[in-house]
């Protein structure tokens, strides 16, 4: 296969992401969000919220990361952050499966492009650079806003508490977007209180954020 054949082959392969459904439903609750929609939405988040980024963030690179970050779900599927007490999402087995998927999918491309895009994906996964932290924060905050808009969404399905949201989501969002997380947490707090899922101690934390 020549270079163009490989590029087109990759693009056909990643169409499969449109058939990977996530735990979070759309705001109108009509169906689950798919991973391709999620990735596109996050690229837009990165563009619109660029003024909230901390110094050192390359917003254009963050957009590249977010367009690529869930491509591995073609092979692995979506692993909800609130499933199985949150352990499966970050487990060694999940990370190994996603690494193998990245190797397979990016290898469909010409070598130079494969290495470039694979490195971009790996930087996002490592979550060490300011740009990756910005992108990762957006990846975590978008489902929160979607669940809130949908009246609870997957929080209901997984019986999520405010403490779990703080530990599994808030800590990571605050790392890259502290101002955004403070605003979003204040917005969702009443839902958790109304549904008996916010301890007094967790609710009190809102006053210090």
Task: Please write the tens of the pLDDT for every residue from 53-110.
Answer: 999 999 999 999 999 999 999 999 999 998 765 567 778 899 999 999 999 999 999 9
Tell me: pLDDT of 209 over 60. no
Residue 81 DSSP one-character state: T
Tell me: pLDDT of 202 over 90. no
Structural domain boundaries in the chain = 3-208
Percent of the chain's residues with pLDDT above 70:
95
Contact 135, 122 (CB under 8 A): no
Tell me which residue has tokens 């919220």.
Answer: 49
Contact 38, 57 (CB under 8 A): no
pLDDT of 87 reads 60
Task: Work out the number of other CB atoms within 10 angstroms of the CB of residue 65.
Answer: 29
Give residue-wise pLDDT tens across range 156-182: 999 999 999 999 999 999 999 999 999
Strand partners, 32: 25
Q: Which CATH class is domain 3-208?
A: mainly alpha
Q: What is the rounded CA–CA span in Å between residue 149 and residue 188?
A: 10
Residue 40 CB partners (closer than 8 Å, separation 6+): 67
pLDDT of 1 reads 85
Helices (H), 150-177: 154-157, 162-165, 171-176
Contact 161, 172 (CB under 8 A): no
pTM: 0.92
Q: What is the rounded CA–CA span in Å between residue 95 and residue 142?
A: 22
Closest among 157, 174, 158 to 166, alpha carbons compared: 174
pLDDT of 83 reads 79
- The arithmetic mean of pLDDT across residues 33-57, rounded, is 97
Q: Is the dihedral of CA 115, 47, 20, 7 positive or negative?
A: negative
């Amino acid at each position: 296969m020549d270079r163009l054949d490989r590029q087109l082959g990759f693009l056909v392969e990643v169409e499969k992401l449109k058939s990977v459904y996530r735990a979070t439903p759309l705001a109108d609750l009509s169906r689950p969000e798919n991973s391709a929609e999620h990735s596109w939405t996050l690229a837009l988040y990165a563009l619109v919220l660029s003024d909230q980024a901390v110094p050192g963030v390359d917003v254009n690179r963050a957009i590249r990361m977010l367009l690529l970050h869930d491509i591995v779900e073609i092979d692995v599927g979506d692993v909800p952050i609130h499933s199985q007490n949150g352990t499966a999402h970050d487990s060694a087995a999940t990370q190994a499966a996603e690494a193998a998927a990245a190797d397979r999918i990016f290898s469909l491309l010409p070598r130079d492009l494969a290495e470039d895009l694979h490195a971009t994906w790996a930087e996002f996964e490592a979550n060490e650079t300011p740009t990756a932290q910005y992108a990762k924060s957006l990846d975590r905050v978008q489902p929160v806003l979607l669940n809130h808009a949908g009246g609870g969404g997957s929080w209901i399905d997984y019986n999520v508490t405010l403490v779990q949201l703080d530990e599994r989501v808030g800590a990571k969002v605050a790392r890259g977007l502290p101002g955004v997380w403070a605003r979003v947490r204040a917005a969702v707090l009443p839902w958790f209180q109304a549904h008996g899922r916010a301890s007094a101690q967790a609710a009190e934390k809102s006053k210090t954020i």
